[in-house]
Structure 1
Amino acid sequence: MATSSALIESRLQHLERHLEQENPVLLKAVQSFRELDAIAYRMGLLKRDDSYTSHIPWWPLIAVLGTFSSGKSTFINDYLGEKLQRSGNQAVDDKFTVICYNHERTNNALPGVALDSDPRFPFYQISGEIDKVELGEGDRIDAYLQLKACPSQQLRGKILIDSPGFDADAQRTSTLRITDHIIDLSDLVLVFFDARHPEPGAMRDTLEHLVSDTIRRSDSGKFLYILNQIDTTAREDNPEDVIAAWQRALGERGLTAGRFFTIYNEAASVPIEEEALRNRFRGKRDADLSEIHGRMQQVEIERAYRIIAALEKMARDIEEKAVPALTQALAQWRKRTLISDALVFGLLGAAAVSLGLKQDYLNNPPLWTQDPGLLYAAGLGLLLLLIGIHFGVRTLTAKSLNPQLRKANEGLEYRGDLVNAFAQCRRYWRSIFALNPAGWGRRTRKRLYRVIHQTDEYIQTLNDRFTNPSGDESPDQQMQKILNKNSDS
């Protein structure tokens, strides 16, 4: 246990060192996560070798999704200024590739286990999720993931994820599960479609998975839909019809949010001979690329807000979902235990009375009942038997509630183990008449409210850093002015 706690503390200290210069607001937020961890440990919602900080990526995350040969890799290479990803008209990579910055001049490629075992990355322990799809597949983590690092300055402070095409194949179910995991964690999701294949109806499954589900998301604004290689439609009589066909296909699947862009890579484009047409396509492409790149630069700011929002959500999940679920389970457990005790003890009592009448113990009591020592021992043995039966009933009725708790666990947006928390509620020294879950009380509620109040303060600090409605100079600007004045004098 001490080793697990030391490992978590080491991870948190490493995270704090990383944030110390990058974002002081998030550095303070780590302390609030520590407080939340302590509450969850006490209640049994987290095990000692776990931390809420391990369930959110602390680096801004941009996901690049789409079909095979839709230009994802070419777009990434162009953005990085590095030929990092292989590109081509056929499927050239069937793995999820996490791309991050390094200081070395050479590009490095690492196996999937480097991601599965590192809590700083978004695929920490993803092998367990893959195992849920097909037992044993988690051991083949290198077949699903790889980590690449390159010295492109565009990667400083953020992570890109390039996905395999959605037309994949034998690994499709696992691929979709990992994709859902990425979408949930990402700050920005770029969804690529190929304008060279203007048959959106033939891609029904892809559109369903990447588009239809977004209308139910609170963060649907982070999706950008990109029709790539639009230059191939330049020779059409009405290239706008191709764009309109895709927009209709997205609209038919309920798309109500997210931006739609049309771009192409000039180095790999089909030459457009007519100058006016070429300028029109180029102008639209440059405007859309500028907006896309602008959003990619903003993810560092958006990530800070999302981490604070996640902290608040985790805290509210404990009070609004975990505690009510455990309280309801306690009430059901108490009721089931008392009813079961009454039935078992009633049957035992009836059996004892029946046996006594049969043996006529009233008129012919056994000899051992006349010995006080034996009578005391028999009474003590009977008491211990009844206590043992009661605790056996407690255990069985508690286990009958585990399926209900596992289902309630799915309602927690961030990881929490309600089954383990309930196990703490039914420890042998706790009475079945206890109303509150283990570790939950007035003091714990105050600690939780303190964390929630701190999230408001963090948001206000971020607002002060990134906005200035009053037009006044920020503290940084004031300090710079003083330094400039001293320098001049």
Structure 2
Amino acid sequence: MADKTVSKHLTNLERQFAATDPVLQKTAKIFQELDEIEFELGLIDNDETTARKTSWWPIISTLGGYSPAKSDFVNRYLGVQLHTARHKFTVLQYTPQANTATLPGTALDADHRLPFYQISRQIDLVTSGEGSKLNSYLELVTVNSGKLKNKLLIDTPVLNPAAENLVSGLLRKYVIGISDLVLVFNDLFEADADLIKDTLAEIVAHQDANKFIFVIDHSEITIDALKSQEIAASWQRRLAELGIHTGQFIVLSQSGDTSLFDQRFNNINNDRSYRILGTLENSIRAIDDTIFPEVEEALTTWKDRCNASTLIVLGFVVMLMLFAEIAVGILELLLDPLIGPAIVAVLIGVLTPLHIIVSRVHAKFLIKHLHKRRKQLNLSEDLAGLFEKSLSFWRILMPITDPVGKNKKNRKKLNALIEQSKDLVQALNDQFSHSQQPEYRSQYDAYSYVDQEESN
């Protein structure tokens, strides 16, 4: 088999992080080793990479109710006056150009470097045909603000009972999952309980990830430090009743002090690194925990159906032989030392290709089933590809239901990759415990290679 070609996306990432972040550079190399295993298993094509499962940008997102608190804060903090669509999920990206540009949602769906890559597939799963209406839900806005350098901000739409549907719920859940930091404005909890039920459940589910800042907006008045602590404590008690027990609380006042936000925003590169390493480990474990079991179940079903079909045909042949015995006495021919083996050989010669043909027919139905399961499980890996690689000639004839590649050799490789990813998490932890941390060029745009590569 031909060796896997290193994805251009991974090559760019390795080159970029070689100068800015050695941990992420090594992470890209582990993704490359994972790609080679998945390519051999038929799970990805030669030009694909598992590194596209998550965005490599540091991501901040906002959640809020129907008041203008969220949009007002974004405009003040970025130092711009944006007029984005309040009913859309808006990705804000830095640009050195003075003019703001708004791009359609399809730009996000088609670009693997940005969040919402291929999100239209997931949208179609919850509401068929709605994926083609992506521009009604998403937009990409470029902003000339130094606060956005090296990071993305996803501004979620206001909670509007008239606009909420399955798609907006899916996108809000997706944003919370991929974000490194989420600003939750207090007016969110003033909305109708049924309206925020799903969002609240996602916050509770992710609260231990240390990604939430609960922003209490009192920007119309001046509040001293003691009063801010009292307000934050009051909200902390209120959210505890909703099941939220962790998270940072920041009270906005007329003073406009954003130092606490700056501290968290400046640390977001590290949050991004932990998220990517988490995605890497989950991707490695998914092969044993999800992919192999799904394909093995399909192979077992396929084998059972094939054997049942062949037994039906064999039963029909036996019935014909019984009728032949009654009519002409074929049993004597079967016992003949020359004619008997010849008849058996003919039967085997007919039944074997028939069994193979029947197997191929049943395989087509299960391939369609695996395509559906891939979408339902939101996997980038091609389950049907591994299934088809497991349909070799001898596997069709022999009682083998294990997917090809499910062996000690690959398990050893996967365990080694998991250990390497854990070592990188430890290396990331060590950056906080050492007295002198490595310096990173924060002013360097981690995705400047996008323009460089596209222009080449």
Q: TM-score range by the shorter chain?
A: 0.7 to 0.9
> Alpha-carbon deviation of 1:328?
4.9
Distance (Å, rounded) in 2 between the aligned partners of 1:397 and 1:219:
46
Q: Show the counterpart of 1:147.
A: 140
Distance (Å, rounded) in 2 between the aligned partners of 1:254 and 1:406:
37
Report the residue type matching 2:41 in the other structure. M
Contact kept, 8 Å, 1:60 with 1:158, in 2: the verdict is yes
Q: Show the counterpart of 2:419.
A: 453
Q: 1:342 and 2:340 equivalent?
A: no
Match of 1:213 among 202, 209, 220: 202
Distance (Å, rounded) in 2 between the aligned partners of 1:208 and 1:259:
21
Contact kept, 8 Å, 2:53 with 2:279, in 1: the verdict is no
Q: Show the counterpart of 2:350.
A: 385
Question: Over aligned residue pairs, what C-alpha RMSD do you find?
Answer: 4.0
Match of 1:355 among 316, 323, 328: 323
Q: How does 1:301-450 map to 2 (within 5 A)?
A: 301-331=270-300, 333-335=302-304, 337-345=306-314, 347-362=315-330, 382-395=347-360, 415-431=380-396, 432-434=398-400, 436-450=402-416
SS in 2 for 1:211: helix
SS in 1 for 2:102: strand
> Alpha-carbon deviation of 1:240?
11
SS in 2 for 1:105: coil
Contact kept, 8 Å, 2:111 with 2:117, in 1: the verdict is yes
Distance (Å, rounded) in 1 between the aligned partners of 2:130 and 2:373:
27
Q: Structure 1 pair 474/122, CA: closer, same or farther in 2 (3 Å)?
A: closer
Superposed CA deviations along residues 269-298 of structure 1, whole A, max 9, x for unmatched, are xxxxxxxxxxxxx5xx74xx4333322221
Q: Structure 1 pair 456/141, CA: closer, same or farther in 2 (3 Å)?
A: same
Contact kept, 8 Å, 1:191 with 1:210, in 2: the verdict is no
In the superposition, the TM-score normalised over structure 2's length comes to 0.80
Q: Show the counterpart of 1:53.
A: 51
Superposed CA deviations along residues 310-345 of structure 1, whole A, max 9, x for unmatched, are 212211221233334444554555455445533442
Q: How does 1:148-163 map to 2 (within 5 A)?
A: 148-163=141-156
Q: 1:100 and 2:93 equivalent?
A: yes
> Alpha-carbon deviation of 1:179?
1.4
Report the residue type matching 2:316 in the other structure. L
Superposed CA deviations along residues 235-281 of structure 1, whole A, max 9, x for unmatched, are xxx999998886566344322322344325x3xxxxxxxxxxxxxxx
Contact kept, 8 Å, 1:214 with 1:220, in 2: the verdict is no
Q: Show the counterpart of 2:259.
A: 290
> Alpha-carbon deviation of 1:351?
1.8
Superposed CA deviations along residues 127-179 of structure 1, whole A, max 9, x for unmatched, are 22222333333222222221112232211111100111121535622111111
Report the residue type matching 1:454 in the other structure. Q
Q: How does 1:4-403 map to 2 (within 5 A)?
A: 9-85=7-83, 93-167=86-160, 169-170=162-163, 172-194=165-187, 200=190, 203-217=192-206, 219-229=208-218, 231=220, 250-264=239-253, 266=254, 286=257, 289-331=258-300, 333-335=302-304, 337-345=306-314, 347-362=315-330, 382-395=347-360
Report the residue type matching 2:140 in the other structure. L
Distance (Å, rounded) in 2 between the aligned partners of 1:117 and 1:296:
27
SS in 1 for 2:16: helix
Distance (Å, rounded) in 1 between the aligned partners of 2:196 and 2:329:
80
Q: Show the counterpart of 1:483.
A: none
Distance (Å, rounded) in 1 between the aligned partners of 2:285 and 2:271:
21
Superposed CA deviations along residues 394-415 of structure 1, whole A, max 9, x for unmatched, are 3466567679867976896864
Superposed CA deviations along residues 431-485 of structure 1, whole A, max 9, x for unmatched, are 44336421232332232222122212322332333331xx4x56779xxxxxxxx
Distance (Å, rounded) in 1 between the aligned partners of 2:438 and 2:245:
40
Report the residue type matching 2:30 in the other structure. S
> Alpha-carbon deviation of 1:386?
0.8
Contact kept, 8 Å, 2:207 with 2:245, in 1: the verdict is no
Contact kept, 8 Å, 1:220 with 1:257, in 2: the verdict is no
SS in 1 for 2:186: strand
- Structure 1 unaligned regions, length at least 5: 87-91, 267-281, 478-489
Q: Structure 1 pair 263/180, CA: closer, same or farther in 2 (3 Å)?
A: same
SS in 2 for 1:439: coil
Please identify, of 419-428 and 225-234, the stretch whose mean Cα deviation from structure 2 is larger. Answer: 225-234
- Structure 2 unaligned regions, length at least 5: 441-456
SS in 2 for 1:437: coil
Distance (Å, rounded) in 2 between the aligned partners of 1:140 and 1:181:
18
Distance (Å, rounded) in 1 between the aligned partners of 2:289 and 2:304:
23
Contact kept, 8 Å, 2:103 with 2:139, in 1: the verdict is yes
> Alpha-carbon deviation of 1:82?
1.8
> Alpha-carbon deviation of 1:232?
7.5
Report the residue type matching 1:359 in the other structure. A
Q: Show the counterpart of 1:467.
A: 433
